[in-house]
Amino acid sequence: MKRLIPIFAALFLLNSCGIYSFSGTSIQPDVNTITINFFEYRALRVNPSLSNDLTEAIKNQFRRMTRLEQVDLDGDMEMSGQITGYDITPAAVTADEVAARNKLTITVKVQFSDKKHPEEDFDKSFSAYAEYDSTSTIDAVESSLCAEIIEKLVEDIFNAAVAQW
């Protein structure tokens, strides 16, 4: 019984704060809704499905990891953004000065506001990349690379918005 007292005390303290959860989020108790707007595509190189894929991935992350209800307008929290970069650069060069590996980098500018707690607002860029062998064409690997990069971006954006890590 003596071993259970510290466990119950810790659970009580975590629960009494009201803002932390076991999913790692720290959403204030008076925040109940979020509006996640469509992330516009503004990069020079075109990827027609990236905006929709990123927007849906962010919505799914909030649906899975928070108690927030997603609403179309006037949420307690609001997120919007633009895909500002979609770039392919050499990641490793051979002795013959030929790219051995290439890197796809996606950059997203995110605006986040918490109407009830404006000190949590931010406007910043997130960037993530994935490498691929230069013997492959971007067309052959693009969808798998984008899925990998979106996963990284969503985690970073989610953590900045509601995990404050």
CATH code of residue 54:
3.30.160.150
Structurally, how many domains does the chain consist of?
1
**Cα distances (Å, whole numbers) of residue 26 to 20, 50, 134:** 5, 29, 42
Examine residue 3 and state whether it is found in any structural domain, yes or no.
no
Examine residue 121 and state whether it is found in any structural domain, yes or no.
yes
Q: What is the mean pLDDT of residues 114-120?
A: 94
Examine residue 110 and state whether it is found in any structural domain, yes or no.
yes
Please state the three-class secondary structure of 17-31 as a single string.
HCCECCCCCECCCCC
Examine residue 80 and state whether it is found in any structural domain, yes or no.
yes
Q: Residue 1: which pLDDT band, with cuts at 50, 70 and 90?
A: low
Examine residue 66 and state whether it is found in any structural domain, yes or no.
yes
Q: Residue 164: which pLDDT band, with cuts at 50, 70 and 90?
A: low
Quick one: tokens of 22? 């076991």
Global pTM value: 0.82
Examine residue 11 and state whether it is found in any structural domain, yes or no.
no
Examine residue 60 and state whether it is found in any structural domain, yes or no.
yes
Examine residue 153 and state whether it is found in any structural domain, yes or no.
yes
pLDDT digits (tens, 9 = 90+) for 73-108: 999 999 999 999 999 999 887 777 777 899 999 999
